[in-house]
Amino acid sequence: MNVNHRFDGPEDAPVLVLSNSLGTTLELWDSNVAALAHHRRVLRYDQRGHGGSDVPPGPYTVEELGRDVISLLDELGIERVSFCGLSIGGVTGLWLGANAPDRIDRLVLACTGARIGTTEMWTERAATVRAEGTASIAAAVVERWFTPGLAMARPELVARFRAMVESTPDEGYAACCDALRDFDFSEELGRIAQPTLVLAGSRDPATPPELGAFLAEKIPAATLTLIEDVAHLANVAEPGQFSHAVLTHLEDA
């Protein structure tokens, strides 16, 4: 399994892994890397089925997404990292925090939840993408990523992310929908022992703030930070605030 990845930042700094949302590539983090890489060796990667990574036939599981990270760290000779994931990237972080505690130092779980959406929603979306392609759902998906005000002010940003969804391999996207369909970590959150920052967008329709509040309540060493007036891609809408919150958490050792 080839996992496309890239490094930014000083080679001798502690490693921070950034994990993408469904339908995006490692370019999701372009507006955050400059700030984060001043202090960390930033390792970005594409989820399986996305970007430059391999696209094995689905369905996928969240365990497979987590094991892809472990395999990548093994390949790169990296023993222990901090991990920041958004949406399905955050779901990957939940699995890693509970199941690979020796590899994960600190967690940031952004715009995510222990259970996202419904079985019916993910089943329907996966079927639509397999039948009609990612282009058929791109506009509706991206509409949930940005507030109407931001979308109106920055149409080029919306267009860039819509193109990112449309370029995602159909099977990769659908197979990750399968993974989200089958994932419910609600009863497992107490197993996560790492210091954890939960970030939520106050106007996020995809993973509403109450999902973040539930994570912060159930994960023993977690705190919640609400980013006001942003939708699902909080790191893009408020890159400065997002990056500052991540760095503050990582440096609070």
**For the chain, which domains are there?**
5-117+183-251 (3.40.50.1820)
**CA atoms of 111 and 208, how far apart (whole Å):** 8
Residue-level pLDDT, tens digit, the chain, 253 residues: 999 999 999 999 999 999 999 999 999 999 999 999 999 999 999 999 999 999 999 999 999 999 999 999 999 999 999 999 999 999 999 999 999 999 999 999 999 999 999 999 999 999 999 999 999 999 999 999 999 999 999 999 999 999 999 999 999 999 999 999 999 999 999 999 999 999 999 999 999 999 999 999 999 999 999 999 999 999 999 999 999 999 999 997 5
**CA atoms of 16 and 241, how far apart (whole Å):** 17
Cα atoms in the 13 Å half-sphere on the side-chain side of 76: 23
Q: Model-level pTM?
A: 0.97
pLDDT at residue 218 in the model: 98
pLDDT at residue 166 in the model: 98
List the structure tokens of 27.
């370019």
pLDDT at residue 253 in the model: 55
pLDDT at residue 13 in the model: 97
CB 201 within 8 A of CB 234: yes
Q: Which of 77, 110, 118, 116 is nearest to 199 (CA)?
A: 110
